[in-house]
Amino acid sequence: MIELRTPAEIEQMRPAGRFVADVLAQTSAAAKVGVNLLELDALAHELIRRRGAESCYIDYHPSFGASPFGKVICTSVNDAVLHGLPHDYRLQDGDLLTLDFAASVDGWVADSAVSVVVGTPRDQDLRLIETTRRALAAGIQAAQPGGKVGDISAAIAAVAHAEGYSINTQFGGHGVGRTMHGDPHVPNDGRAGRGYPLRPGLVIAIEPWFLETTDEIYTDKDGWTLRSADGSRGAHSEHTIAITPDGPLVLTAP
C-alpha cells in the first residue's frame, strides 16, 4: 500500500534524514586503507546507540536474503554493488567502497548510500561514481508533483546510457516511511509519463547503481552481497526524498 505523508509528517522525517546523512559522512570519512569493514559496522552501530535510533538492517530478512542481515550498514567493495555484508576484510588502496545505510528515528525511516574510493583512485572508478551522482541528481530533478515515477526512471537512464553503462532493473528505488522498503518501486530505467503518479506527500528513495561493463549480478555465498557477473566494479548513490507542492525535498542531504 502506498501512503502519502502530511506536511507535518514529512517534517517529522527530517531528523531521520539528518541522522542517516551524518552516519554516512562519518563512516565514509573513517574508510581508510587498513580499516576493517567490521570496524565501519561497529562505528555505525555506536552512532545508532548514541542517537537512540533503530537499525533497519540488523533483523532484516526479505525473501532474497539467506538469513537476517545481522549488521547495521551495507559495505560493498569493488565488484560488490548492493547489500554488501560487512565481514573481516581490511580496505586496500584503490578499493571502491559503497556504504548504504538506513535507520529509524522516532519511528520514521530514511535511507541513503554513497560510493567513495579508498586511497588512490582510478579514473574509471571516479567516472562511474560521478555518473551515479549525476543520475541521482537527474532523478531528483524529475521528481516533480504531477509527474510519474517513469519520469524519474527515464531521467536516471538517460545519464547512464549517455556514459555507455547498461542498467539492471531488479533492484531500484522504493517507498520509505515507517518501514525501509515499500511501494512504489522506482526502477533505474523506464518510460517518462508512465507509472505511479508523483503526488505531494509521496516519500521515496531514489538509488541509481551501475556496473562498469555489465548489468548482470549474482549473489555471493554469504547469501546477501550482490556482485557483478563479470567482476567489474559497481557504484551506487541514493537519497530519500519527499514530493512537495514546490518540488522534491531531499531528506538525506549532507
pLDDT in tens, 32-43: 999 999 999 999
Q: What is the pLDDT of residue 229?
A: 98
16: phi then psi, degrees, rounded to nearest 5: -65, -40
If one counts every other C-beta atom within 10 angstroms of the C-beta of residue 249, the result is 18
Q: What is the pLDDT of residue 6?
A: 98
Which pLDDT band holds residue 199 (cuts at 50, 70, 90)? Answer: very high
236 marked as part of a ligand binding site = no
pLDDT-above-90 percentage for the chain: 97
207 marked as part of a ligand binding site = yes
| Averaged pLDDT of the chain | 97
Mean per-residue pLDDT, 114-140: 98
Angle at alpha carbon of residue 127, lines to 126 and 130, rounded to 5°:
85
Residues whose CB falls within 8 Å of the CB of residue 141, separated by 6 or more in sequence, listed in order:
155, 248
pLDDT-above-70 percentage for the chain: 100
Q: In this model, does residue 1 exceed pLDDT 90?
A: no
174 marked as part of a ligand binding site = yes
Mean per-residue pLDDT, 11-29: 98
Q: In this model, does residue 105 exceed pLDDT 90?
A: yes
- Residue that is written with C-alpha cell 573481516 in the block: 88
238 marked as part of a ligand binding site = yes
Q: In this model, does residue 100 exceed pLDDT 90?
A: yes
9 marked as part of a ligand binding site = no
88 marked as part of a ligand binding site = no
Judge whether 92 and 36 are in contact, CB under 8 Å: no
Give residue-wise pLDDT tens across range 56-83.
999 999 888 889 999 999 999 999 999 9
Q: What is the pLDDT of residue 184?
A: 97
Q: What is the pLDDT of residue 190?
A: 97
Helices (H), the chain: 7-30, 37-51, 123-141, 149-162
d(CA 161, CA 156): 9
Give the chain's domains with CATH numbers. Answer: 7-250 (3.90.230.10)
90: phi then psi, degrees, rounded to nearest 5: -95, 130
Judge whether 83 and 73 are in contact, CB under 8 Å: no
Mean per-residue pLDDT, 81-105: 98
Mean per-residue pLDDT, 224-248: 98
d(CA 240, CA 122): 29
